[in-house]
Every structure is written in C-alpha cells, then in structure tokens.
Structure 1
Amino acid sequence: MTYDHPDTPARAVSRPFGRLLTAMVTPFTADGSLDLDGAARLAAHLVDAQGNDALVINGTTGESPTTTDAEKERLLRAVVEAVGDRAQVVAGVGTNDTRHTIELAAAAEKAGAHGLLVVTPYYNKPPQSGLLRHFTAVADAGGLPIMLYDIPHRAGVPIDTETLVKLAEHDRIVAVKDAKGDLTATSWVLARSDLAFYSGEDALTLPALAVGSVGLVGTSTHFTGALAKQLIEAYDAGDNATALSLHRRLLPLLTGIFRTQGTILVKAGLAAQGLPAGPVRPPLVDATDDEMAQLRADCAAAGLDLPE
C-alpha cells in the first residue's frame, strides 16, 4: 500500500479529552456487588490527587465484561455526579454487537457522559468494511464525541490506517486510544487526519508523544497519574530531559502493572492504600501474595511507596 506524502504543515494540537485519562477500575463490595460510594471516592481521588483530566468508566479495566447494562448506567451516573463538574467522564460502550453498542451509547449519553470509548468489536473479527460500518453507525446514532479503541491483541483485528483515515471524516469521531503498539502506523494516521491519539500502552507514552500523540489513557496511572501528567507537560514544554527522566523513573510500574491482568494488580494496590477497590469478579482472580510482593517492588523501583 502506498500513501500520499504528508506535505501539509503540522496542525494545531487538539486534546478533546485533555492530556491524562485513567481507565478506572470498578469498586465492588466484599460480596462482589457494585460499590457506588467507593466509585465516587475513587473517581475524586483520581481527579483531585492524581491530576486526571478525564476518566474512562466501564472499560475493560473496569471489568465491563462482567457488569450488567444496569450496573454500567448506575456506575456512570455516580461518577458523573462525583467529578463531572471538574473532569470529563468517558463511557466505555464498546461490544462486538453494533446494536448493543448503540444502546449502551444512548444510555451513557442520557446518564451524562461527556464522551464515548468504543473498542474494536472483539472475537467475531469483522473485516475492515465491517469496522467502518460499525463505528460509523455508533457515531451517527448519538451526539457525543467518540474515542476509538484500537487494541488488536485483544480484539483480534486492528483498525487499519485507511479505515482510521476514513473514520476521521466523521465529525463525532475525534480520538483514538492507541494500543496497537505500531508507531509507524500511528504516524501515518496522524499525518493524514485530525484524530487525537492517546497512548493506550502506558510505557509507550513518551515515544507516542514524539510522533504526535497528545496524551495517555492509562492503567498504572491509578498510582502514577500525577507524575505521568508531569511527563506529558514537560514534553509539551520542550523539556525533553525531564520527560525522559520521568519515563525512565516510572518504567518499572508502567510495565509491572501488567505482569498479570492489570485490573488485578490495580485493585490490590488500591486496597493496600486504603482506597476503594474490592475484589475482582470471576473469571479474574485476586492477586496472590507473590504478586503483591512484586507490585511493591515495582512501586519502590519507581520511587512510590505501597503500604504493607
């Protein structure tokens, strides 16, 4: 495949959802039911203490495969009420069923969400024409800005460059959570569209910024948010040395949080800090003692303390 040469001047940076977003875990009570009070307190912590400009609710990190549609709506309303006056709340609504995704998007808009995160339909592996039709249908059906979520190692298929460029023509498709891990492909889309790219791989935040991305949708940012935002702001200010120093400092946790499924370690770490988290829902399992010991070591290596 060949591309037109990107000879147009660099566009002004657009950050429709700010610089830093965290894909928030969903707190549960000890018996596994939804902890709405805990969700409100955790959201406030992530915004007020960790500096998040926006939160993603009901994403995969929020265990969306195991929460009901009714739980998703209740959770979203609780978070919007808690922090919606000072941070954007982006609702994860993606499924592998276009009709169901549109239904969740409508419910999220009614519940007060500021934007939508729509993941590539997973498992059924649609062709690129199916992805184009799916995302366009969701965008046509509502009024909220959309962040696409490109994560082929989970979804089974990537959103190809040509598909992303076509989707960028839609007024409501404004951003991408980029977990493809292919910065060359990212560079081509950025050269040919006005989409705002957010790194969906915590450890690739700085390299992604270097090719034109505008921020991060993180998981480790439950703990590293304030420093991750400093990294982004330093890069924006042209202070590459500080940005690189922060990247190297945080690297043990940017990668370590994914030693097992990220939700498991985030919830364990939050609990150690006395913050709302609760257990995970099956088929996930709670962190083992060995995993907790490694998490503490990774935090220490990043200069962060995780209480015993």
Structure 2
Amino acid sequence: MSQRRGSSFAGLSVAIATPFQDGQVDYARLKAQLEFQIAAGTTCVVPTGTTGESPTLTHDEHERVIAETIQTVAGRIKVMAGTGSNSTAEALRLSKRAEKEGADATLQVAPYYNKPTQEGFYQHYKAIAEAVSIPVCVYNIPGRSAANIEVETIQRLADVDGIAMVKEATGKLDACSEILGTTDLTVLSGDDSLTLPMMSVGAEGIISVVGNVVPGDMLAMVKAYAEGQIAEAQRLHHKLYGLCSNMLGLATNPIPVKAAMKLVGRDTGELRLPLTALDDAGMQRLTQTLQTYGLIA
C-alpha cells in the first residue's frame, strides 16, 4: 500500500497535561512543558485531550490552551488539537476555531455518554471532516466513551475526505490489524504499552501519556522500529513496559502522570475535581516505579 494519509504524524505525539494552579490554568507552566517536548524532539503535541482534563475545561479555557500551544510551538513541531465532544455542534465549533488558530490536525474523541449508534458515529465524524480542512484523527476509546466505533464504521469513514488517522485505544491488536489491512488510514497507538506490538502490524507511532515523563525513550523506540532496528526497539519496549503499565495502572489518567511529573521535578499543579490525587499507597508504588526506571534517586 502507498503512503498512508496521516503519515506526516508518524512518530511520537504527546498528550499534554493541562497545568492548574489555584483553580486556574497555569499558562507559564504549559509553555515550559511545550518547550521540554520540543527540546526532546517530539513530533507533535496534543493539547486538550484526555490527559489535558478537557472535560473540566471551560469553553474559553479549552480554546485558549489550544491557541497558547500553537503560539508557543510556532511551527517548530506539529499540534493536533483535542477538539472532540459528545455534542457534534460543539465539536464543530472547537474544530473550526482550532483550524483558524493554526492547528495541524484535530483529535476527535468518540462522543461519550450519549452512546451513538454506528450510524451516529459515522455522521458525527463526517460532519466534522466536511467542516474543516485539517486532517481528522478518530479517537476510539470505548473505556472512556462507553461505546466502540466498530471497524466497519472506520472503514466507511476511510472513504470520507479529511479523515486521516485513528488513535486506536481499544487494546485490541486485531482491530488495529483490520483497519491497517483494509484502509489507507494512519493508525497511532492510544496505549503506551502496546505501541511496539501495534507498530509490528503497521501502526506508525503513538499518542503518548508516558511521553510527558520520558519522551526521549519513547521516541527512540518508535524511531528504532521505523528504521528496522528491531532488537533495539524491543529492548526499549521492555524498558518502558514497567513504567507504562505500573504508572498508568495506578489510577485514572492523568492522575498518575501528574504525580510522576511532580516527582521528577516538572510539577503541573493540581487536578480538577472530580479527579483527586493519588493516595499514599499509590504514591509509594509510583515512587518505586520511577526509582526502578532511574528517574529519581
């Protein structure tokens, strides 16, 4: 198959945590995070996604975080703006605004809570793709959205101009294989620990949470596999696996990653309710995980 539609987003995309201080978005810390990612060589940053606590951002905050990200990055790396919603009208408004600000692509989470039919998913994504000229990444995460976008629906969406990528977070390698074998869409892993297995069947990278902490290692693994250095990619996969599974298994994202960022000296402030901080047992396990990896003494 010739080059896939979203191949310019191959590599490491990092789902950026939104820093909060005293209940407000801390834009100075956001800029520091972005500079850290640029220095690490990250391919693309993804603001206002799951890791960015987008459900608790006001509409004004959501738009400003995207705008500040685009302005700070200033074309040095790509920006895929999280502009999804369970309201098609809201997703359209956010996506049009992100395009106007200069986003390179839009990440569209499956509409959550309403539980659309497969036809509803199709019409939702088709409406967004037809309303903007930037590439659309379909984000399938049934663990969050309570409904799965079936492979047959993604195959239908592949015929819609503008749909370019799938962030595949079902945990099902078969779904990844089927999408890659029957469409020209780019697949990006939505689970850090599954990145290498998914790349082995044709995925082109990851939209990563762990990349907030160790972008260099995650990028090295993705690059090693892409360049045919299979043994090195496997070595890095096994190194990263414990960090990915142990850290992200402690509590709902982004609770553990925000705690980890604080422990490694890149504090992103508090969480917003209804998310709450890790308990003492969780912090102890997280500290051990980071020590084992060599991130803290």
- For Structure 1 versus Structure 2, the TM-score category normalised by the shorter chain is over 0.9
2:210 to 202, 209, 220: 220
**Alignment deviations for residues 238-264 of structure 1 (CA, whole Å, 9 cap, x no partner):** 211111111111111111222111211
Deviation, structure 1 residue 276: 4.2
Q: What is the identity, as a one-letter code, of the residue corresponding to 2:20?
A: F
Aligned partner of 1:173 in structure 2 is 163
Matches within 5 A, 1:30-49: 31-49=22-40
1:160 equivalent in alignment to 2:150: yes
1:264 equivalent in alignment to 2:255: yes
Matches within 5 A, 1:276-291: 276-291=267-282
Aligned partner of 1:150 in structure 2 is 140
Over aligned residues, Cα RMSD in angstroms? Answer: 1.4
Once structures 1 and 2 are overlaid, which stretch shifts more, 78-87 or 52-61? 78-87
**Alignment deviations for residues 132-176 of structure 1 (CA, whole Å, 9 cap, x no partner):** 000000111111111110111111111111111111122211001
Q: TM-score, normalised by structure 2?
A: 0.95
Q: How many residues align?
A: 295
2:290 to 282, 293, 299: 299
Structure 1 stretches lacking a partner, 5+ long: 1-9
- Aligned sequence identity (%): 36
Q: What is the identity, as a one-letter code, of the residue corresponding to 1:172?
A: G
Deviation, structure 1 residue 304: 2.9
Structure 2 stretches lacking a partner, 5+ long: none
Q: Does the aligned pair in 2 maintain the 1:16–1:175 contact within 8 Å?
A: no
Q: Distance in 2 between matches of 1:97 and 1:214?
A: 30
Q: What is the identity, as a one-letter code, of the residue corresponding to 2:16?
A: M
Q: Does the aligned pair in 1 maintain the 2:130–2:161 contact within 8 Å?
A: no
Q: Distance in 1 between matches of 2:8 and 2:162?
A: 11
Q: What is the identity, as a one-letter code, of the residue corresponding to 1:64?
A: S
Aligned partner of 1:23 in structure 2 is 15
Find the residue that maps to 2:81 and give its secondary structure: strand
Matches within 5 A, 1:1-308: 10-12=1-3, 15-29=7-21, 31-49=22-40, 51-258=41-248, 259-301=250-292, 303-306=293-296
Q: Distance in 1 between matches of 2:39 and 2:10?
A: 15
**Alignment deviations for residues 100-156 of structure 1 (CA, whole Å, 9 cap, x no partner):** 110111111122211100011111111111100000001111111111101111111
Q: TM-score, normalised by structure 1?
A: 0.92
Q: Does the aligned pair in 1 maintain the 2:264–2:295 contact within 8 Å?
A: no
Q: Distance in 2 between matches of 1:75 and 1:239?
A: 37
